[in-house]
Amino acid sequence: MTKIIQVTESSMPLLDEYVSEIAELWDTHWLTNMGTKHQEFEKELCKYLQVPWASLFVNGHQALECILETLELRGEIITTPFTFASTTHAIARKGLRPVFCDIDPHYYTIDEKKIENLITDNTCAILPVHVYGNICATEEIQSIAEKYNLKVIYDAAHAFGVKKNNQGIGSFGDANMFSFHATKVFNSIEGGAVTSSIDGLYEKLSQWKNFGIIDQENVEFIGGNAKMNEFCAAMGLCNIRHIEKDISLRKRVFERYQSNLASIPSIQLPKARPNISSNYAYFPILVKNEERGISRDDVYSALFDRGIRVRKYFFPLTSDYACYRDLFDSGETPIAQKVASQVLTLPIYATLSLDNVDRICCIISGLLANEKES
């Protein structure tokens, strides 16, 4: 029986390395509440991400909600519907209104040229999303934010380890959220972090994720419980030692896909902005062959039937979810709507063999071969 090829596979250290990392927990019995592993992991993240500080969370979603709350934002936030549910949900759950901006047709990130027309007296922030490891137009977005006195909060869930002009991506904007979910380039099993250079924000975040507690007798405000535990921090410490090797292995897979699929006219391959060091987080393709009778869904089914798991990521747009569709018209973001209808993300991870990449590409090219002959 042919082994299933998953769309991703979690990076993990050798078992002995992880066991060694967690061994002291059996001595201290300190399993959560910002223990030694938590503190060590924050320090390692600061060095790797090139940021002044990093605050750890149980997951990226709680980290994003925490940013919105601690910055005391009210009103509307301009964002993108071409994202995972977490981005839009965090805005809505904090009592803010998402305002959807269309995306760039090449990079799939928020179209910075369309942001300004969406700003109103109620706009308080811009929440762009770095998509597939591809980076937003940070300089242009920052210029708009400064012009209108808006906060910029980046959803950097896909961008761990990415640099722009050799500058860590976590240093842009007012704050950044990273996700360390098991499916990401870098994982701590579950987890997330906030990076920022805002004075005093680290302390506020620390209070918010621990019920607003100041000390044993004082609770300053209504906080939540979003602390990362020691076992997840230990996994993060292990995986960060191997992240550069993992990224280099992902690069091989990424480049093999590009080489194999470049000659198929009806496939749009990922395009990167200049001066970016990528993390090769995803390999998205757009299947643009509907007029010849072969759709994205046909390619999806052909791969799935052969044991290859791909994702329609992101489909549908968050503005088309049942909980939002009566409030927003996705027709107002036509490029995002079109990309969502055509996108597939192919399997990519450090241990994916190039032979399997070739097999995946052979299936795709075989399905679309008729167009190359016409």
Give the CATH number of the domain where residue 83 resides.
3.40.640.10
Sign of torsion, CA 216 220 221 223? negative
- 6 part of a folded domain: no
Q: Domain check: are 181 and 271 in the same one? A: no
In the chain, pLDDT over 70 holds for what percent of residues? Answer: 98
The answer on 359 and 300 residing in a single domain is yes
Tell me if 3 is assigned to some domain.
no
Handedness of CA 345, 350, 356, 361 (dihedral sign): positive
- Domain final residue, candidates 240, 259, 283: 240
Q: Is residue 211 part of a domain?
A: yes
- Does 126 fall in a domain? yes
* Angle between helical axes of 230-240 and 15-22 (0-180°, round to 10): 130
* Residue 222: count of CB within 10 angstroms of its CB: 9
Which of 184, 212, 240 is at the close of a domain?
A: 240
Q: What is the pLDDT of residues 265-282, one digit of tens each?
A: 999 999 999 999 999 999
Structural domain of residue 351, as residue ranges? 243-373
Quick one: pLDDT band at residue 290, thresholds 50, 70, 90?
Answer: low
pLDDT higher than 50, residue 372: no
Same domain, 231 and 315: no
> Are the C-beta atoms of residues 195 and 169 closer than 8 Å to each other?
no
- Looking at the structure, do residues 228 and 286 belong to the same domain, yes or no? no
* 255 & 236 share domain: no
> Is residue 164 one of the residues assigned to a domain?
yes
User: What was the pLDDT predicted at 254?
Assistant: 98
Q: What is the pTM of this model?
A: 0.96
Answer yes or no: is 8 within a domain: no
Question: Does a structural domain hold residue 94?
Answer: yes
More reliable by pLDDT, 61 or 197 = 61
Query: How many C-beta atoms lie closer than 10 Å to residue 242's C-beta?
Result: 17
Strands (E), the chain: 54-57, 76-79, 97-100, 123-127, 151-155, 163-164, 167-168, 175-179, 192-195, 213-215, 218-219, 267-268, 276-277, 283-287, 343-346
Average of per-residue pLDDT across 27-37:
96
Neighbours of 6 (CB within 10 A): 15
211, 253: one domain: no
Clarify whether residues 51 and 132 are in a common domain: yes
Residues 142 and 291 in one domain: no
* Overall domain count for the chain: 2
CA dihedral over 243, 346, 271, 81, signed as positive or negative: negative
Tell which of 240, 263, 286 closes a domain.
Answer: 240
Which CATH number goes with the domain that contains 340? 3.90.1150.10
- Which pLDDT belongs to residue 348? 98
pLDDT digit string, tens, across residues 309-333: 999 999 999 999 999 999 999 999 9
Residues 155/170, Cβ–Cβ less than 8 Å: no
Mean pLDDT of 101-130: 98
Residue 316, pLDDT score? 98
Per-residue confidence (pLDDT) for residue 293, from 0 to 100 = 76
Residue 195: its H or E element: strand 192-195
Q: Same domain, yes or no, for 151 and 176?
A: yes
The reply to whether 202 and 321 lie within a common domain is no
Tell me: do 41 and 178 sit in the same domain: yes
Tell me the average pLDDT of the chain: 95
Is residue 4 assigned to a domain? no
Average pLDDT over residues 77-101: 98
226 and 306 fall within a common domain: no
Distance in angstroms (rounded) separating the CA atoms of residues 240 and 54 = 14
- How far apart CA 157 and CA 20 sit, in angstroms, is 28
pLDDT tens digits for range 171-193: 999 999 999 999 999 999 999 99
